[in-house]
A and B are shown apart, each in its own frame.
Chain A
Amino acid sequence: MHVRKECRIWVDDNARIVKTQGNLFDKELLDKLFHVLFCPVILSIFDEIKKLTKDNPGIHIPAVNLSSKYINGYFHYFFKRESNGLILWVIKDQTAETNYKLIRLQPEMEKKLKRETERFLLSRRNCNYTDE
């Protein structure tokens, strides 16, 4: 059983954290996380994220139907975003150094970007050929 501590965060005009109290994680981590808080999904899981420890197997938040897995020292979160398909979040577990990392991988967007760029480059090449 873990005891819930009161958590407070003070922010300045630039939404940067100036002081924190009663958090599981240090100011540096919160500083990084805070900027994604405005993203509603993260906002909704933030309280859960704060509760995580390295012994935690992962969390499930029914409100956003977010599932997570703890694999090889990483918390993996999966959720859907409007029209953009699956997003995979990886939160690196380096609890010992209290230094977490958020990464978003979005294979579908990657494909889309590649396709658009290649189409352009190909069309340029064709038009150079016809110029010759």
Chain B
Amino acid sequence: MLSHKLILTGSYGVGKTSLFDRFLYNKFSSKYLTTIGVNVDKKVVNIDGRQLTMIVWDIAGEVTQDKIPNAYFLGASAMIYVFDVTRASTYEHMISDIDFLKAKLPKGIISIVGNKIDLVDEQFIQTELKTQAPLPWDILTSAKTGEHVEELFLSIGKKLLNRS
């Protein structure tokens, strides 16, 4: 069976572990336990009748992504760049971060994700967030309610399957 490694990146506290927990175990905790090193687990997903093992790496958040140890990128096929829609400090480095990540994984899939949408309203998203975010996002999620979390991972899975 095909397997791919996927890394969750982004600043601290944006919800990487929460997205990981939601996708892998369908659970959420409002307690913040910052990650050191990496959490790794895998999930087999079914996409259009094909199976794919997604090995998900949830790494410790860094304010800028160039602090991520090089070894983490080994063998990765996709990256999810998570920012917190309520904290501008988590998306202000987006352009340089994405450039850096693209250089690390030239052939990889990179998905930009705004998390914690349960804390904001549609008007904020359509006005302020849209003008403030340096790059357009691929999807907005809430690890808390589960909104769009499955879609996020499955859409990456689909791209990975279509490529191979």
Interface residues of A (CB under 8 A from B): 13-16, 35-39, 42, 87, 89, 102-106, 109-110, 112-114, 116-117, 120-121, 124
Selected from B35, B40, B87, the residue in CB contact (under 8 A) with A117 is B87
Q: How many interface residues does chain B have, given as a range? A: 20 to 34
* A-B pairs under 8 A by CB, number: 70
Q: A116-B87, A117-B87 are in contact. Are A109 and B13 (CB under 8 A)?
A: yes
Check if A35 sits within 8 Å of B38, measured CB to CB. Answer: yes
Check if A113 sits within 8 Å of B35, measured CB to CB. Answer: no
* CA–CA, A61 and B84, complex, Å: 37
* Interface of chain A: mostly helix, strand, loop or mixed: mixed
Check if A113 sits within 8 Å of B13, measured CB to CB. Answer: yes
**Smallest beta-carbon distance B95→chain A, Å:** 21
Interface residues of B (CB under 8 A from A): 3, 5, 12-13, 32-40, 55, 57, 60, 69, 71-72, 74-75, 84, 86-87, 89, 119-120, 124
Check if A35 sits within 8 Å of B37, measured CB to CB. Answer: yes
Check if B124 sits within 8 Å of A105, measured CB to CB. Answer: no
Check if B119 sits within 8 Å of A121, measured CB to CB. Answer: yes
**Smallest beta-carbon distance B13→chain A, Å:** 4
* CA–CA, A18 and B36, complex, Å: 23
Q: A120-B87, A121-B119 are in contact. Are A109 and B71 (CB under 8 A)?
A: no
